[in-house]
Amino acid sequence: MIDIHCHILPGIDDGANRMEDSLLMAKEAAKEGIRTIIATPHLNSQYDNRKPLIIEKVEELNQALRQANIEVNILPGQEPRIYGEILEDYEKGDIQTLNSTPYLFIELPSSHVPRYTEKLLFDIQVKGLIPIIVHPERNAELIERPEMLYRFVEKGALTQVTASSLCGYFGKKIKNFSIQLIEANLTHFLASDAHNIRNRTFKMEEAMDLVESEFGIDYIYLFQENAEYLIEGKNIIYEMPTPIKKKKKFLFF
């Protein structure tokens, strides 16, 4: 199994604190059958993790994993919070795409969707990159206005749902929205977004079991193959998205 979203690099964001924590996370991943992890440290106002630092830290972690005989391979990635100058920073060599492929993570604020998002997603694609909106199921505005996400996906953006969201660890509302996203073909990847082995761990095995029971084995193959295609820089599999119908609220007097 491949995990395309994980905060496993030590000491550079709110994920693993030390190398020992990174190794413990890798051991936990291996127990779930994860053999390849894309390290995706934050790039935002709090954490300034640029491409050269990420490449350096990935090599250090891979070396430590080999020395510890842990059979997990780390690939470079990044989780940039959306901002207007991201393409300029990409040109400068500060932005690390996922395993140096055209696939680029984009994180939205948790409370809203910035007004320039649609234009920036378009500009990213014009540049030859493929934007992947991470954990859209945890964005308050998208939960209330799912038609916005439908529009982004219809126009070429991809999305990634978090395993813990699907399993209910962020609450029932987020779990239900995660299920709706899969039903409507509005997500293309399932990943852990793991930060540690305590309260933000992988849950990939549990999520895949849920996907199989709710949607069938074909969806397991879809998510697994899309992760493989991503790290190889190939085109992924996707079905035509459909709008999520908002449930009507009835008032009783």
Mind listing the pLDDT tens digit for each residue in 137-175?
A: 999 999 999 999 999 999 999 999 999 999 999 999 999
Residue 249 lies in a domain: no
* pLDDT tens, position by position, 107-133: 999 999 999 999 999 999 999 999 999
Residue 252 lies in a domain: no
Residue 159 lies in a domain: yes
Q: For residue 4, how many other CB atoms are within 10 A of its CB?
A: 27
113 DSSP assignment:
-
The stretch 17-22 carries a mean pLDDT of 98
Please state the pTM of the whole predicted model.
0.95
Residues 6+ apart with CB under 8 A from 12: 41, 47, 49, 53, 57
Residue 227 lies in a domain: yes
Residue 251 lies in a domain: no
**In this structure, what CATH number is given to the domain that contains residue 226?**
3.20.20.140
**What is the model's pLDDT at position 172?**
97
Domain that holds residue 182: 2-231
User: How many domains does the chain divide into?
Assistant: 1
d(C-alpha 14, C-alpha 12), whole Å: 7
* pLDDT tens, position by position, 174-231: 999 999 999 999 999 999 999 999 999 999 999 999 999 999 999 999 999 999 999 9
d(C-alpha 95, C-alpha 190), whole Å: 22
Residue 86 pLDDT greater than 70, yes or no: yes
Residue 250 lies in a domain: no
**What is the model's pLDDT at position 245?**
80
Residue 246 pLDDT greater than 90, yes or no: no
Residue 246 lies in a domain: no
Residues 6+ apart with CB under 8 A from 17: 10, 11
Residue 164 lies in a domain: yes
**What is the model's pLDDT at position 127?**
98
The stretch 72-91 carries a mean pLDDT of 98
d(C-alpha 185, C-alpha 129), whole Å: 21
**What is the model's pLDDT at position 110?**
96
Residues 6+ apart with CB under 8 A from 191: 3, 4, 5, 6, 160, 161, 162, 163, 204, 227
**What is the model's pLDDT at position 250?**
46
Query: Is residue 110 within 8 Å of 242, Cβ to Cβ?
Result: no
Residue 51 pLDDT greater than 70, yes or no: yes
* pLDDT tens, position by position, 32-43: 999 999 999 999
